[in-house]
Amino acid sequence: MLRCLNPWRRPLLSCSWSRLCLFKQYLFTMKLQSPEFQSLFTAGLKSLTDLFVKENHELRIAGGAVRDLLSGVKPQDVDFATTATPAQMKEMFQSAGIRMINNKGEKHGTITARLHEENFEITTLRIDVVTDGRHAEVEFTTDWQKDAERRDLTINSMFLGFDGTLFDYFSGFEDLKNKKVRFVGHAKQRIQEDYLRILRYFRFYGRIVDKPGDHDPETLEAIAENAKGLAGISGERIWVELKKILIGNHVNHLINLIYDLDVAPYIGLPTNASLEEFNKVSKNVEGFSPKPMTVLASLFKVQDDVTKLDLRLKISKEEKNLGIFVVKNRKDLVKAADSSEPLKPYQDFIIDSRESDATTRVCELLKYQGEHRLLEQMQQWCIPPFPLRHHHITQETSCVL
């Protein structure tokens, strides 16, 4: 027995491990025992695991939840994988009197069961038969490694048994310890299966890596060669990933890399972007939890750039209005500021505006401009009770630092 120490947090793992040659790959196994793992065992999960054991079907925690647990973080969402087919799961749950909800995922192998007021999303192990860069036709399997092979990144390809046994076919745990983001197998092949994986690579790079700049040359080459494939991905899917990149770590490095690799034109970003302005603003907002659009607006030179982005990514009305507001007012309100009362133009704008989110927009603009002292003053000014002249300001629209 060996005791493994998690180098990026406190001691996390009490484990033994072995490497078994399996299908020309190495399976790395060990035991995870941590408070975060134990906290998952609710009454609902215990009932679920007991049922799968009774029916002789394997069930494990999969993907991102395993990554989070190994990082000492309790996952917000837990996905499960199983050797049982959707038909077997449906029969099993019906016989046990367990309610199933949201049957939209059934054709992809996913069944959602509700036990003890909790939802459990369980997906049958799969193999991609045909892929077109956006969607995949799958067939079901009982081979855990085959399912791991079809996943995007090594750190997302691991499984965890309910006795704490980790199943790692592609050195995902090693990569997690070393703060590395790698595709499973060949980067080019993984990307061509789903071009959105280009943005997922950037997103997890910002989440996992300590210091920016260390990329596998083969990965960057694969991204550059296949960037145009993102043109066929829906704007909504792209925006979900891009927002997470914008509020993650190393955003300056990653957005510049997106331009260097010629990814930007295919995801709605302007070709003549103000990268110098972006570099300045990305430093201004550090530590102040900006909205994604606040950071992204620094790339835009004119308001029409926001409109073009909306056409490609289908952003919300609130996001579009914030982008237009920042581009329009990022210089005007600063010019209007008097040295003796620098906050006054911003206060007057809020007072004169009858829109409920005016305060939020102004606070985002102050983050954008790096006016941290004024931002704190604005926060104090927004605290109730408000003067009658700006009674429309509510606590919900006050500044968030």
Q: Is 253 helix (H, G, I), strand (E, B) or coil?
A: helix
Q: 259: Cβ–Cβ under 8 A, 6 or more apart, which residues?
A: 269, 273, 275
How far apart CA 266 and CA 250 sit, in angstroms, is: 21
For 122-148, what is each residue's pLDDT tens digit?
999 999 876 767 777 789 999 999 999
Contacts of 352 (CB under 8 A, 6+ apart): none
pLDDT, one tens digit per residue, over 365-378 is: 999 999 988 899 88
Q: Of 264, 355, 268, nearest to 315 (Cα)?
A: 268
Q: Is 339 helix (H, G, I), strand (E, B) or coil?
A: coil
Q: Residue 386 — very low, low, confident or very high, per pLDDT cuts 50/70/90?
A: very low
Q: Quick one: pLDDT at residue 199?
A: 98
Tens of pLDDT, residues 50-65: 999 999 999 999 999 9
Q: Mean pLDDT in the chain?
A: 88
Q: What average pLDDT does range 190-210 have in this prediction?
A: 97
pLDDT of residue 360 exceeding 70, the answer is yes
Distance between CA atoms of 160 and 59, rounded to whole angstroms?
A: 9
Cα–Cα distance measured from residue 370 to residue 334, given in angstroms and rounded to the nearest whole number:
11
Average pLDDT value for residue range 153-181: 97
pLDDT at 26 over 80: no
374 neighbors 336 (Cβ within 8 angstroms): no
The band of 107, judged by pLDDT with boundaries at 50, 70 and 90, is confident
Instruction: Specify the pTM.
Output: 0.88
Whether the predicted pLDDT of 172 surpasses 90 = yes
User: In this model, does residue 8 exceed pLDDT 60?
Assistant: no
Nearest-angstrom CA–CA distance, 186 and 390: 58
pLDDT at 354 over 60: yes
- Answer left, alpha or beta for residue 19, where phi above 0 means left and psi between -120 and 50 means alpha: beta
Mean pLDDT of 165-191: 96
> What pLDDT sits at residue 335?
61
Task: Specify the higher pLDDT residue, 281 or 21.
Answer: 281
**Helix (H) or strand (E) segment spanning residue 115:** strand 110-115
The pLDDT, as a whole number, for residue 5 is: 31
* Neighbouring C-beta atoms of residue 378, cutoff 10 Å: 22
pLDDT confidence of residue 206: 96
**Residue matched to tokens 């009932």:** 47
Residue 237: per-residue pLDDT: 97
What tokens were used for 48? Answer: 């679920």
pLDDT at 397 over 70: no
Query: Is residue 283 classed as helix, strand or coil in its secondary structure?
Result: helix
Rg (CA), the chain: 24
- Give me the pLDDT at residue 385, please: 47
